[in-house]
Amino acid sequence: MAQAPPARSERTIAHMDMDCFFVSVERKKDPKLNGLPVIVGGPSNRRGVVASCSYEARAKGVHSAMPTAQAFALCPEAVLISGNFGAYSEYSEQVKQIVSEAVPVLEFASIDEFYLDLTGMDRFFGCWQFATELRAKIMRETGLPITLGMANTKTVAKITTGTAKPCGERMVEPGQEVAFLAPLPVQQIPGVGPQSTIELNKLGLKLIGDIQQADVDHLERVLGISGRILWLKAHAADIGAVHTHYERKSISAEETFMADTNDTKALEALITAMVEKLAYQLRTSERLTACVTVKVRYSNFDTHEQQQRIAYTAQDGELMETAKAIFRKMLHKNRPVRLLGVGFSQLVPGGIQLNLFDDAEEKSKLLQATDAIRHLHGANAIGRAATLQASGHRKGTRLAGTVSSS
């Protein structure tokens, strides 16, 4: 009997892949190659292999990693180019530049392919509109074709890209992932190579839908842990985050009260003050956070910490709301508090994305103005009225902002 399917991922992942990247770069340098079957690869007289080939060559059965001699047997009229990896990396860098200016969470999976995690952005922006506009920008600025796939996991997004190639864009609507995957052959799952395909077919698993229907424990018995992973992938479950190349850091502030307090209003005001300082620190270091942590230590040293994942931001308003919401949820009202702390983690570079991630441009302008005043007069020069209330409760206390790797 088949198990209940795992919960589908609720992330928004875009995957983009340059179309026959090396060939496209060669065609840009020499437009006469347009429309011709082109192979970039090693010489056919020795053990050269195809690194990239145009769709005209693919139509004849040529594919990458095939020995060049075999490719010429299939497509004798092909134009062979030995390749210029310097130029390819230059274009790759150019794409990386364009993308990282627009999105903080991205992972380059290879020289011509990357993933973006746009989760949470739909609150401010249409994710699909954002992704298609970014794709258009890449094509406009590099002059190279690229295909976009969007879905709820990396695996499904990459498969979607595959079905939209060449030079296309496609989105799988939320909730439609399992139905979208079902009729596709198993080898469409990234990582399922020719050998695995044979093995899966032998087990009667030809389509991704067959994997969806299979008993997961049976799959694991026969294929090991990769059997379970395949089953999860086939159900569009959330495995495999988008890994940024950036070093992750966290910043935090905490404050110990000389006299413990259970004055909720004052505690909240202190949270506001700490968030303000930390958010300012975020913006001046041009970073965004995706995780807010609140720490409460009661008079008996009993310490609690809770965190919440949020959409990337460096805006005071959203961070304060989040921190206060966490605080209200976790606070035991009648117990006196000894220490209060706030932390931001999962930091990524992205100061210039402020407007992108916030709907209220006005709010952003206000922040820019207050930040400018802080620059001129020091970090304590300006603050919201609410934060002033907190100061009365701080008797010889410390406010330590620490920046540490996490």
56 binds Mg ion per the rule CB under 5 A: no
Shortest distance, position 354 Cβ to Mg ion, whole Å: 32
Task: Please work out the total of residues on this chain that contact Mg ion, with binding judged by CB under 5 A.
Answer: 4
Stretch that binds Mg ion, among 68-76, 105-113, 227-235, 315-323 (CB under 5 A): 105-113
113 is catalytic: yes
254 binds Mg ion per the rule CB under 5 A: no
Beta strands 303-313; 287-298: pairing state: antiparallel
Cβ distance to Mg ion smaller for residue 24 or 100 = 24
139/145 Cα distance (integer angstroms) = 6
Cβ distance to Mg ion smaller for residue 8 or 15 = 15
Shortest distance, position 139 Cβ to Mg ion, whole Å: 14
109/265 Cα distance (integer angstroms) = 48
Of 342, 340, 254, nearest to 297 by C-alpha is: 340
Describe the strand order of the beta sheet including 50-53 as a list of residue ranges.
50-53, 38-41, 79-81
Shortest distance, position 271 Cβ to Mg ion, whole Å: 47
Which of 13, 14, 16, 18 binds Mg ion (CB under 5 A)? It is 18
112 binds Mg ion per the rule CB under 5 A: yes
Catalytic residue among 113, 255, 268, 276: 113
Q: Where are the alpha helices (DSSP H) in 257-331?
A: 264-284, 316-330
Cβ distance to Mg ion smaller for residue 18 or 278 = 18
Cβ distance to Mg ion smaller for residue 109 or 178 = 109
263/336 Cα distance (integer angstroms) = 8
Contact of 117 with 152, CB cutoff 8 Å: no
Shortest distance, position 55 Cβ to Mg ion, whole Å: 12
Contact of 330 with 296, CB cutoff 8 Å: yes
Of 104, 100, 103, 88, nearest to 144 by C-alpha is: 88
User: What positions carry a catalytic annotation?
Assistant: 113
Binding site for Mg ion (CB under 5 A): 17-18, 21, 112
